[in-house]
Structure 1
């Protein structure tokens, strides 16, 4: 078999398991497959789509990795009971409050924290020269122990010197802001777009690399409108729904 034939065969196989994954995803989203419902057997799925056992198992594995299915040894494969999270984006957007308001349990896991030179996008957002030292915090966000986000947050070292020392004591970013005379802060700007995840992003979000992610790039400012943080957050797209709230709380001036 030639290299070209092998490549065509690999593409065909990839297309077959993706077809099953997409159809089952649609059945779950439309309610044809209800939460906790048991999937047909491998043999039945093979007959429905005219594919082999390996193709069916690949599709099931991808759906399970995305948190849509649960495979129970000896019992079968079941639809996970889950709902899309409505995440409110407003002038005072707070991760934990968003989740608690929906009866979810928020949590976070540190991935990496270090001082780096500000890339051009970060420098422009924070209004500092390119390459200026910024403190980068990488974290995973969870709702009920299910990973939903991977964030890279950047803070100017000139504004928050020795931030890393305070972080090592367990202080939150909000507490550190308060230590530097910033008792409150606001969302200045938000950009949202979709793209395909990297292999590492898909792994950390426990989703298929074939499923798009939502990317939210935001700038937070102090009450005088000066940038204090830039974040690039990758969200598990099929688990999230964003709601933009343009209302200003009573007595609050419009966004700058």
Structure 2
């Protein structure tokens, strides 16, 4: 009697598509933990390499989130529409979508301004600046890392106020700056470094969006320079292209 032919193994792309379908149709809802690798191998009659490749592909897309030591979960973070304009505000962008904005101070130091920071802030190289590293969250989910620089002479108490829960807009206002604008914005994508990927809870092969900006007050004086690193799979940017002379109340967040 001849031996039975081997059971064909499911290719990794078919596994990826089946899992994506389960997620799209709600059989694996946001936040749900995926079955173990052994269970997935049994379900799809596939080897570990194929299962790992399929899961990794969905993680790179941002559909799944791999947490070391805990397992693999369906990404529960909502896609955020973030409007960039002359009056861009982190808290307002999120609050307008029913999301709760928050931030975490990861590092705060005072140092001589590096050359590129001094040029952006129109100060002398070596002038003291606050260097702040913060993580921005929406409903508790990390969406951005912000590396910011502010002149110490303008905002001597800025770190203490941030730790007390005040927003940058409130701090500006307390120092006599009633309104401020983006003077310039530079946007590009790249791969995150390992620390950035860990802090954003995303796959290291999933790209991040980097937004560099300089804020100025109503007179055009630079007051802050920063680089924001955004989780690429969780944020969709729109650009405010209305004429600068239009009143802010007429602005729209749609492209």
TM-score by length of 1: 0.74
Distance 1:25 1:104 in 2: 30
C-alpha distance after superposition, 1:85-120 (max 9, x if no partner): 111001110111111111222111111111122122
In structure 2, the residue matched to 1:43 is 41
CA drift of 1:175 comes to 2.5
CA drift of 1:172 comes to 3.2
Distance 1:207 1:217 in 2: 21
Residues 1-256 of structure 1 mapped to structure 2, 5 A cutoff = 24=16, 28=20, 33-34=23-24, 36-38=26-28, 42-43=40-41, 47=45, 52-53=47-48, 56-57=51-52, 60=55, 68-69=63-64, 79-247=74-242, 248=244, 250-251=246-247
C-alpha distance after superposition, 1:197-228 (max 9, x if no partner): 11110000001111111000001100101000
CA drift of 1:59 comes to 6.0
Distance 2:162 2:94 in 1: 23
Q: Cα gap change, 1:81/1:175 in structure 2, threshold over 3 Å: closer, same or farther?
A: closer
Confirm or deny: 8 A CA contact 2:105 2:163 kept in the other structure. Answer: no
Aligned length: 224
C-alpha distance after superposition, 1:10-41 (max 9, x if no partner): xxxxxxxxx969x849985xx78406334785
CA drift of 1:69 comes to 3.1
CA drift of 1:152 comes to 0.8
The structure with the largest helix share of the pair is 1
Distance 2:176 2:150 in 1: 15
Q: Cα gap change, 1:147/1:249 in structure 2, threshold over 3 Å: closer, same or farther?
A: farther
In structure 2, the residue matched to 1:14 is none
- Unaligned runs of at least 5 residues, structure 2: 1-10, 29-33, 249-255
C-alpha distance after superposition, 1:106-144 (max 9, x if no partner): 111111111122122211111112222111121111112
Residue 177 of structure 2 aligns to a residue in which SS? coil
Residue 155 of structure 1 aligns to a residue in which SS? strand
- Unaligned runs of at least 5 residues, structure 1: 1-18
Q: Cα gap change, 1:80/1:165 in structure 2, threshold over 3 Å: closer, same or farther?
A: closer
TM-score by length of 2: 0.74
C-alpha distance after superposition, 1:166-222 (max 9, x if no partner): 445544322221222111111111100011111110000001111111000001100
